[in-house]
Structure formats: structure tokens, C-alpha cells
Amino acid sequence: MGAPGGGRNPVTPRYLRHFNPLWCVDYSQASLERIFSTILAWHLEPFPGEVKALCNQIVAMTAAIYQTISTELLPTPTKSHYTFNLRDMSKVFQGVLQSSPKTVTNSNECLRLWSHECLRVFSDRMIETKDTEWFFQLLCTMLKDKCKKEWSALIESGEVTLTPTLTLTLTLTLTLALTLTLTPTLTPSLSPTLALTPTRRTCCTATS
């Protein structure tokens, strides 16, 4: 139960006397980094060295984004769903943990994956353009300060990687379309051949 504000009304002591309230202290940023760095380091063990080296930076950036967005983007009556908790932070790492050494081969691909998960979890919840722009600037700042990477460099390197995949998809689509087009035309040509075989045998029997 949060404090009054952002669409939440104060609860009177007369009502609270029927319950046993419990207060939990939030994790510190050091504790969050310790928990998620242990999980992420185990997952990145079979990855290349440059990807494994990003473990601490990814965890630190995610924790910093979570702490910043929880402080700056508070819920209001029109944005009552702006409530961020540890479940959102864990969803970012859940998406990163879906990767494999075959799909993520270098540091740029790993950072693109992490950026995508942050945009999916945090930015997709925002309903105003100024909020999404603010979060995008925060993401770019984290990449520049922690990893010395520019957003434009990550996107440019990603476009080169996606080209062969698109070509292969178009090739398979054309092959499938050609197969479906030729299959009906082959069926009628086989029917007369099968129908003529018994006729020839009948004629030979009548002659003998």
C-alpha cells in the first residue's frame, strides 16, 4: 500500500485497526546489483569474452534506470499505472536471459538486446510523448556513461546484421509460392496416364 497521492486515497486508522500492517524496506542499489549480477554472470558464462565483460555494466545501468524512473515518473490521476517495482526490473533480465551464444555474438548485439528489453518494459507503458522522449534520453545517457557507446552506432551495426536474414526470408517465400503454383498443374497430367493403362490391356486381351 503506497502513500496517498497519484489517485490513492488515505486510509483511516478506524479501517486499519482491522488489519495487521507490515512494512518492508526496499532493497538498496548495491543489493540489487549483487542479486542480478550473480544471475546474469551465470547465464553469460558460455558467451564470448566481450559479452561477459558487460555483465556489471548492464546490471548497474538497469538498477540506475529503475531507481531513476521510480523517483521521477510518479503516478498521477491520469497516469495511475505509472507504478514501477522490482517485477519490472526482473522482466528486463528475463528478456536478456532468453539469448544464446548463437544469437548474441558481440557486445553491440548484447547492448541492443538490453536496450530493446528496457524500451519494452518501461517505455511501452508511457502514454505521453514527452515521457517516452525523456526515457530515451535516459537510456542513451546510460549507454554513453557506462559503456561508452552511442545509440546511433548500435543501430547502424544492427542494420548490417539483419540484411542476410531478410534475403533468406524472401527466398523462402518465393520458393514456397512457386511450389504451391506448380503443384496443381502436375496433378492433371498424371491422371490420363493412369487411365490409359487398363484400356491398353483390355484391347490386347480382345485381340488374342
Q: Are 55 and 41 in contact (CB under 8 A)?
A: yes
- The pLDDT assigned to 6 comes to 52
Confidence of residue 98 (pLDDT cuts 50, 70, 90): very high
Model-wide pTM > 0.85: no
Confidence of residue 164 (pLDDT cuts 50, 70, 90): very low
Q: Is residue 120 pLDDT above 80, yes or no?
A: yes
Give the whole-angstrom CA distance, residue 175 versus residue 130: 46
Give the whole-angstrom CA distance, residue 68 versus residue 145: 15
Fold category of 28-157 in CATH: Histone Acetyltransferase; Chain A (1.20.920)
Give the whole-angstrom CA distance, residue 188 versus residue 182: 11
Q: Where are the domains of the chain?
A: 28-157
